[in-house]
Amino acid sequence: MKRVVITGLGMINAVGMEKESSFKAIIEGKCGIKRISLFDASRHTAQIAGEITDFDPTTVMNPKEVKKADRFIQFGIKAAQEAMQDASFTEYDSERFGMVSASGIGGLTNIEKNSLISHERGPRRISPFFIPSALVNMLGGFISIEHGLKGPNLSDVTACAAGTHAVATATKSIMLGMADQMLVVGAEAAICDVGIGGFASMKALSTDNDTPEKSSRPFDATRNGFVMGEGAGALVLEEYESAKARGARIYGEVIGFGESGDANHITTPVVDGPYRAMKMAYEMAGKPSVDYINAHGTSTPANDKNETAALKMLFGSADACPPVSSTKGQIGHCLGAAGAIEAVISLMAMRDGILPPTINYENPDPECDLDYIPNIAREADVNVIMSNSFGFGGTNGCIILKKI
């Protein structure tokens, strides 16, 4: 099997418009969660989100094209541009360069908007750009056209595991010789009336509206639901010999990945599924000494205790488990984009030798008894990182990254 490395990164989220400012804010424990301004959320029980403010899509697209692309696609284009620039290609074989797009919901904002138009003004008033703007794979469509990527053009739409699954999908394509390079882009922008309302009706969201900066508190005993975020993460994956031959900067190597299904419940997580995904990745990687785990860590009562239990099963005990943190306290839960964003964060942590903190960790939970790097980032020698993502439908993903 061919070796697969990462040579380019890009990121946009609630604490930064690009990867360096985002990562710096995350390490400093800054929180981008605030009152929602994208729509009037006053009727909702949850009125807070990790919203990106001051984003101008005309900085990444021709103004005439903006109306053709939903907000999640615009974020993805932004992150992809940064990752491709970061990879510093002078040339590439376009037919050997593919991409994998990832999103949990896709163009929910445009689905909501055009549904209202149809209901209130009739179906003839629906935008002709509605369908192309809302499809998840159009994220890959827009980006592949911009960069001339004619290799495999794939999409993972596996709820909150999509971004991590996309890294695995791209890795497989290169390992099997289907491509020399793959661009992974995970993007989400579901902060809209029906998006917030839908998750709130499931009692999945935190309703701590008066203290938004404290509302997402992974692994804390008082956690009471996740906070929706938005944004995008992008990674350029490349066959190792190709990257080495062109003198590319290598952030890390994908040495393991695992995927599993719970086969239990459409929304309630279990321990077994995440454990098997992590075990698969860990064994594929050769059971390395893991230095840090970027947890799924959603700040929901069920996920955090189950993920903790699965990690203890994998490593044998709480004491044997490496340091763990969740960065969702800083940027919220970016749903299908989360795994891609968190892979970028993990690789930058490896690059800089610093572990991001779990902010808002104040009240220990007896069922969550690992080292969660509480509140303050920690310098460390980081050579191997595990990153987890789990989604509705009982779909689980795990990747393991290694410094070269």
Residue 214's SS3 state is: helix
Q: What amino acid is encoded at 344 in this protein?
A: V
Annotated catalytic sites, by residue? 160, 296, 333
Q: For residue 81, which of 143, 134, 135 has the smallest C-alpha distance?
A: 143
* 334 contacts 164 by C-beta, under 8 angstroms: no
Does an H or E element contain 115, and which? helix 108-121
- Cβ atoms within 10 A of the Cβ of 286, count? 10
Backbone angles phi and psi of 273, in degrees to 5: -60, -55
Question: Which ranges of 248-392 does DSSP label H, i.e. alpha helix?
Answer: 272-284, 301-315, 328-331, 338-352
- Looking only at the bridges linking them, the beta strands covering 34-35 and 252-261 are unpaired
Report the C-alpha gap between 247 and 310 in whole angstroms: 39
In 52-188, the DSSP E strands lie at 97-102, 153-156, 181-188
* 191 contacts 228 by C-beta, under 8 angstroms: yes
Q: For residue 250, which of 235, 232, 229, 228 has the smallest C-alpha distance?
A: 235
What is the distance of C-alpha 40 from the center of its chain?
Answer: 26
Q: For residue 354, which of 385, 309, 394, 329 has the smallest C-alpha distance?
A: 385
> In the beta sheet, which residues pair with residue 12?
232
Residue 237's SS3 state is: strand
Token couple for 222: 């008082």
Backbone angles phi and psi of 190, in degrees to 5: -110, 20
- Cβ atoms within 10 A of the Cβ of 264, count? 11
Q: What amino acid is encoded at 184 in this protein?
A: V
